[in-house]
């Protein structure tokens, strides 16, 4: 009986450990690519990927700053969506709606 419980727990632990290790490696590679990026447009795209891997608001905010600075509406729209998504899942629905509305405005201008 103990084996029926022990084996799934060991597998679960191995899976979680492997997932965390992969996320760290992916994050490190993306940070290196960010530092070596040839243009700000590429940096915005890499910051979006970092946001996806780490679910970290500062990456999305930095992407928005750069996208607005270089007048890159597609990147700004993606960053606004990421920020809105982050606030939504953090339970701050009002802030989320503000960013998602901004996203729709920027996206409609981009089209």
The mean pLDDT value for 57-65 works out to: 96
pLDDT at 72 (0 to 100):
94
Q: Per-residue pLDDT for 47 more than 90? A: yes
Give the Cα separation of 17 and 108 in Å (integer): 42
Per-residue pLDDT tens for 8-21?
545 545 444 444 44
Over the stretch 67-107, which tens digit does the pLDDT of each residue have?
Answer: 999 999 999 999 999 999 999 999 999 999 999 999 999 98
C-alpha–C-alpha distance, residues 84 and 90, integer Å: 10
């Amino acid at each position: 009986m103990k084996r029926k419980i022990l084996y799934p727990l060991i597998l679960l632990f191995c899976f979680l450990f492997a997932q965390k290790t992969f996320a760290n490696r992916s994050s490190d590679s993306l940070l290196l690519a960010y530092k070596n990026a040839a243009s700000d447009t590429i940096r915005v795209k890499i910051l979006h990927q970092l946001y996806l891997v780490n679910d970290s608001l500062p990456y999305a905010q930095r992407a928005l700053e750069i996208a607005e600075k270089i007048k890159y509406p597609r990147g700004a729209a993606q960053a606004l969506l990421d920020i809105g998504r982050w606030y939504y899942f953090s339970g701050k629905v009002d802030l989320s709606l503000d960013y998602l509305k901004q996203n729709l405005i920027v996206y409609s201008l981009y089209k």
